[in-house]
Structure 1
Amino acid sequence: MGLPPGPNKLAHNERVKLTATWLNAVASGTVLVGIVAPLAATLYGTAMPKGGILAVLGSALFLAAGIGLHIQARRLLEDLKE
């Protein structure tokens, strides 16, 4: 029979969850800007496909950044207090 969590613990958990949510949103935006937007522009004909290794490397960089930010958001959630 434990005591109910104190306000400091609850506030801490909410701050951690809010930060993780923000970081995950930034990760989603990174993938959207770096991969989805150029692909959609090419498919709808509003951008000319340049192709080449630079485009592939750029997309891979944005994907890696998005994945890294998402992993960091998940790691933040490990700081939740019980």
Structure 2
Amino acid sequence: MAPSKSAKKSSSTVSYKDAFKVGLVCGVAVLILSIVVTRAWQDPAAFGFAFIYAGVAFVAVTALASVLNWALRNDTQNDDQSYPILK
């Protein structure tokens, strides 16, 4: 059986929407963990800091995922894949 050639080019990147979702999940996880670790239910200042930590985590993870996504989309180093990866 001959291998079929697909016209669709596969992409190893994800959408920026997915990068936003990953940042959101990490932000919520940091919020829950920081509330538990700092016992924020006992101190209003600690509760505020928990939200600050979650916001920073959200922004950092979303930005890093977006930058890595952008770098992979613009990578032209391995465009010629006519050879096997493992020789």
Higher helix share: 1
Instruction: Select the structure with the greater relative contact order (CA < 8 A; seq sep ≥ 6).
Output: 1
Tell me the TM-score normalised to structure 2 length.
0.47
Please tell me whether Structure 1 or Structure 2 has the larger radius of gyration of its CA atoms.
Answer: 2
Tell me the TM-score normalised to structure 1 length.
0.50
